[in-house]
Structure 1
Amino acid sequence: MSELRFESADVAGLRFAVSPVWETVSSLWVLDNPVRHAVHLSWTDRARVIARRPEVAARIRPLRELARPRRWLPDFLTPAAVHPDVTLEEQLDQIGATPPEVVVRDLLSTTPRAPLSGFGQALLAEPRELLPSLVDALRAWHDEAIMPDWPRLRALLEADVAHRAVQLAEGGAGRVLDQLHPSLRWLGDRVVSDDPFERDFDLGGRGLTLNPGVFHGGRVLWNLLEESMPAGTYPVRAVGTLWERSPAPPGDPLARVVGSGRAALLHLLDSPATTTDLARRTGLSGGSVSQHLAALHAAGLVVRTRRGRYVFYRNTEAATVLLRAARGE
Structure 2
Amino acid sequence: MPVRFAVSPLWETVAALRVLAAAHRAPDVHRSWLAWARPRLDGLGPDPTPLTRLATLPVVPEFLIPTPSVRFLDLDTALHALPDLARPERVAAALPDDPGLLAGPGALSAVLERLRRVYDAVIAPVWPRLEGVLQGDIERRGKHLVDRGAPAVLAELHPDVATHADGVRVWDRRVVAGERDLVLVPSAFTWPDVYLREGPCRSALCYPARGFGALWQRPPAPARDGLARLIGATRARLLTELDQPATVSQLAARLGITVAAASQHLDVLRATGLVFSRREGRNLVSLRTGLGLALVEGGNR
TM-score by length of 2: 0.73
Provide the residue aligned with 1:94 in structure 2.
81
- Greater share of helix: 1
2:71 equivalent in structure 1: 84
2:101 alignment partner, one of 111, 123, 127: 123
User: Secondary structure of the equivalent of 1:97?
Assistant: helix
Partner of 1:166: 143
Aligned counterpart, 1:321: none
User: 2:32 is matched with which residue: 30, 42, 45?
Assistant: 42
Query: 2:206 maps to which residue?
Result: 233
Report the TM-score when normalising by structure 1: 0.67
CA pair 279-204 structure 1, distance change in 2 beyond 3 A: farther
The SS at the match of 1:103 is: helix
Residues 61, 137 of structure 1: 8 Å contact kept = yes
Give how far 1:229 is off: 3.3
Residue matched to 1:305: 271
Structure 1 unaligned blocks of 5 or more: 1-9, 109-115, 270-274, 314-329
Structure 2: distance between partners of 1:171 and 1:92 = 36
Q: Which residue of 1 aligns with 2:61?
A: 74
Which segments of 5 or more consecutive residues in structure 2 lack a partner in the other structure? 256-260, 279-285, 290-301
Larger Rg: 1
* Contact 2:128-2:244 within 8 A present in 1 as well: no
Aligned-residue offset at 1:49:
0.9
Residues 243-283 of structure 1 deviation map (CA, whole Å, 9 limit, x = unaligned): 2335554xx6xx6xxx15525768xx9xxxxx77x767xx6
Q: Distance in 1 between matches of 2:128 and 2:63?
A: 25
Which whole-Å CA distance do the structure 1 matches of 2:80 and 2:173 have between them? 28
CA distance in 2, matches of 1:129, 1:228: 29
The equivalent position to 1:201 in structure 2, one of 148, 151, 175, is 175
SS in 1 for 2:63: helix
Determine what percentage of the aligned residue pairs are the same residue. 31
| Contact 1:221/1:232, CA 8 A, preserved across alignment | yes
Q: What do residues 105-160 of structure 1 show as CA deviations (whole Å, max 9, x unaligned)?
A: 1223xxxxxxx6xxx66416x17852222211211111111111111110111011
Q: Equivalent residue for 2:11?
A: 22
Letter in 2 for 1:50: R
SS state at 1:71 partner: coil
Q: Could you report, residue by residue, the CA deviation over 1:35-81 in whole angstroms, capped at 9, with x for unpaired residues?
A: 5232122221222112222xx2345642112122x722112111111
Kindly state the Cα deviation for residue 303 of structure 1 after the two structures are TM-superposed. Answer: 7.4
How far apart, CA to CA, are the structure 2 residues paired with 1:29 and 1:17?
Answer: 20
Aligned to 1:157: 134
The question of whether the paired residues in 1 share the 8 Å contact of 2:166 and 2:177 is answered with no
Letter in 1 for 2:109: P
Q: How many residues align?
A: 262
Distance 1:306 1:265 in 2: 10
* Structure 2 CA distance for aligned equivalents of residues 265 and 94 of structure 1: 43
Change over 3 Å in CA distance of 1:264–1:74 after alignment to 2: farther
**2 CA distance for matches of 1:177 and 1:231?**
12
Structure 1 residues 208 and 63 mapped into 2: Cα distance closer, same or farther (>3 Å)?
same
Q: Compute the RMSD of aligned alpha carbons.
A: 3.6
